[in-house]
Amino acid sequence: MTKGRRAALEMAQALCREHASRLLYLACAGSTLYGTAVAGRSDLDCRGIFLPSPQSLALGKTPASLRASTAGEHLQSGPDDVDVCLWPLQRWLLELLARGDSGAMDLLFSFSCGECVLFKDAFMDRIFAEPLRVLSLAGGRSCAKYCIGQAERYSLKGERLNVLKRVRAWLDSRCPHMSGLRLQDLLSGLLRDCGHAEHCRAGTDPAGAPALVLDGRVHLAGMPLREFSGRLDRAIATYGARAEAAEAGGGADFKALAHAVRAASELQELLSTGRIAFPLACAGELMEIREGRLSKPEAVALVRDRLALSERLLEDSPFAREYDPKRAPALVLEAYGLQEGGDAHGGSAHGGDGPDPVLAGTAQDAVSDAVSDALPDALPKAAASGLDAVPASLLRQIQERLDACEREHHVRILYACEAGSRAWGCPSKDSDWDVRFIYAHHPDWYLDVAEKKDVIEATIEQGDGGVFDAGGWDVRKALRLYGGSNAAVFEWIRSPFVYRRRGPLLHLLRRHADTVFSPIAAWHHYKSLAAGMLKADPDPQARTVKRWTYIVRPLLVLRWLEGHEGVPPAALADLLAQAGIGEAVRDGVQELLLAKLAGAEKGVAAPPQAVQDFAREAWERVLSGGFQPGHAKGRIDLGEIFRSCLREAWDGFSFR
């Protein structure tokens, strides 16, 4: 730990001792966290969380924040200074994150940059394991809009200040003494040299007398020039340092613009991937904006484009629906030992040994709970469990593996999901986790005549919550398969487990799915699957529970295709509800699936007779007649989807 970071930790600990509070977390913030710090120019900002004492809460004396700075209370920080700001746990969780405060959101995901974390109490893992449950993404959108509003406000102030200073310089050069002169004596020349359509123009007073309208104020042409000069100086003095900086930047507040781009980019990343990774991928852009190398119109357009994309993502992003307003209050109570999860002396926030507080139910737990309810509801609950069914420690390991894939192969992952039995809603007790993803290389990778590998092979790893493997396809390959109605791609984009999402890919694939989907191609795919399963175990009495499941599922899809148009559902629960089968068959299939869910998939066991009869009759039906699809496949511009995904993944790369 460097000298500055050590000093920050000591300052934070001293603040907590002074207020009889407990330090829960401390991390580098600002430019250090974003990856935009400049040696010799940037100070060290640190933010953290503390747990106020019960006494201060009871007496209503909990401060809104604890602050300390090596620069002193009233001085602006220099490059060697350290600033520390600590928020009470209650304010951070119940107020700041609930309204999507940008700094609070940064702190929530700062753990993604290990070297920026200066101190972490074990209790904080309870929050970091499921950060989206305590963060309102609607508030994050408001925060980004506020940032661009501030940027435009100070840019406007800078423009106005620029006009005022130009008038001041013009007067000083034309008439330094001003004695005996009136504004009207110089008005035509002033308007000729300093006129501005909005901020410096000719006008009249309410009585119709000639006047100068300057920065929204009316100055009568007949007033003494010395009086006008005094008004001009007072008007200039009302503008603060940020407007001065905007005026110096040619009418743009580049610091505010950089914050607006950062906030909008973070919101887009959060809606796409479910997290914010620090240092930021857009750090280079932020540096260009702050240094004035990206113009104000370009920066404003960048923010608006990203906010517009975020608006679209909010419509169907699974991460936008994870906020749970009950979660934050429960965590605060838990921190004080007032709710299950902490001990009687203050919970895990007060240290001590014990079991890992970061626990989440497995898919099997979700199914066990569901089975206790009415049987028809059991499978839909299991299928809809999504990321809630992934143990928190395993989810972290999956995200780390995806990060490693990006680093090792120099790609950006556009979409990652769970595939196979877990996505269908019928895992067994010991099913593996099958992570599948679509990725994009840098655009330069595609500009080559050489044939290149367009898959990342799945690698098997042992996670804390079970075995998982992760592998994926290049986006160009995935789009070609999608255009050819590859069934795997259509199942991926309907998975309830979305591990990561970046840019517009998932939104576009879902939107155009019914157009490009080929029913006849799907028919042959699922017919082939069923044939393979039946051929592998021709004797019905020798088939395992798992084999029966993998025979029944494609047959249900084939039955669904006979009576519906569009893409068939991936979840078995939906197939059972929509495939037009009898109640006895539906109940029998549910009984078969629950046996698999309970861990009996490797055992040889015949399903109920109704299921056996359905499988035999459904296969005979497939063999006896051809399939007549209700609609033909359509066409869309897959090339434009490909280009738009690359532009988003690689920071606005242009093909022109």
pLDDT, tens only, 622-646? 888 767 766 667 788 899 899 888 8
Q: CATH number, domain at 396?
A: 3.30.460.10
Residue with tokens 């493997």: 469
Mean pLDDT score, 293-302: 74
Assess contact for 217 and 191: CB atoms under 8 A.
no
Residue 537 maps to a domain: yes
Same domain, 178 and 312: yes
Looking at the structure of the chain, the number of domains it has is 4
Same domain, 481 and 527: no
Residue 448 maps to a domain: yes
Look at residue 534 in the predicted model and tell me its pLDDT: 85
Same domain, 167 and 315: yes
The pair of three-digit structure tokens given for residue 276, joined into one six-digit string = 């914010």
Read off the pLDDT band of 198 (50, 70, 90).
Answer: confident
- In terms of residue numbers, what domain contains 76? 3-134
Same domain, 416 and 443: yes
Residue 502 maps to a domain: yes
Same domain, 197 and 304: yes
Distance in angstroms (rounded) separating the CA atoms of residues 243 and 252: 9
Residue 652 maps to a domain: no
Residue 495 maps to a domain: yes
The domain boundary residue, chosen from 108, 134, 160: 134
Mean pLDDT score, 539-550: 83
Residue 613 maps to a domain: yes
Assess contact for 157 and 306: CB atoms under 8 A.
no
Contacts of 83 (CB under 8 A, 6+ apart): 43, 44, 45, 46, 67, 68, 69, 70, 71, 77
Same domain, 419 and 553: no
Same domain, 402 and 292: no
SS (H, E, C) 64-91: CCEEEECCCCCCCCCCCCEEEEEEEHHH
Distance in angstroms (rounded) separating the CA atoms of residues 594 and 601: 10
Identity of the amino acid at 224: P
Q: What is the pLDDT of residues 392-443, one digit of tens each?
A: 788 888 988 999 999 999 999 999 999 988 888 888 877 889 999 999 999 9
Same domain, 310 and 427: no
Residue 653 maps to a domain: no
Distance in angstroms (rounded) separating the CA atoms of residues 126 and 146: 30
Read off the pLDDT band of 355 (50, 70, 90).
Answer: very low
The domain boundary residue, chosen from 484, 517, 550: 517
Same domain, 184 and 268: yes
Q: What is the pLDDT of residues 55-76, one digit of tens each?
A: 888 888 888 899 998 876 544 5
Same domain, 271 and 180: yes
Assess contact for 142 and 307: CB atoms under 8 A.
no
- For helices 254-273 and 241-248, what crossing angle results, to 10°? 90
C-alpha closest to that of 199 among 167, 163, 226, 165: 163
Same domain, 297 and 421: no
DSSP-derived pairing of the beta strands 44-51 and 22-28:
antiparallel
Read off the pLDDT band of 146 (50, 70, 90).
Answer: low
Same domain, 169 and 105: no
The pair of three-digit structure tokens given for residue 651, joined into one six-digit string = 């920071």
Q: What's the CA angle centered on 383, arms 377 and 384, to 5 degrees? A: 90
Q: Which residues, listed in sequence order, are joined to residue 218 by a DSSP beta bridge?
A: 213
End-to-end C-alpha distance for the chain, whole angstroms: 46
The pair of three-digit structure tokens given for residue 498, joined into one six-digit string = 């979305």
pTM: 0.47
Distance in angstroms (rounded) separating the CA atoms of residues 484 and 517: 8
Identity of the amino acid at 134: V
Residue 327 maps to a domain: no
Biggest CA–CA distance in the chain, Å, is 114
Distance in angstroms (rounded) separating the CA atoms of residues 107 and 120: 12
The domain boundary residue, chosen from 134, 154, 178: 134
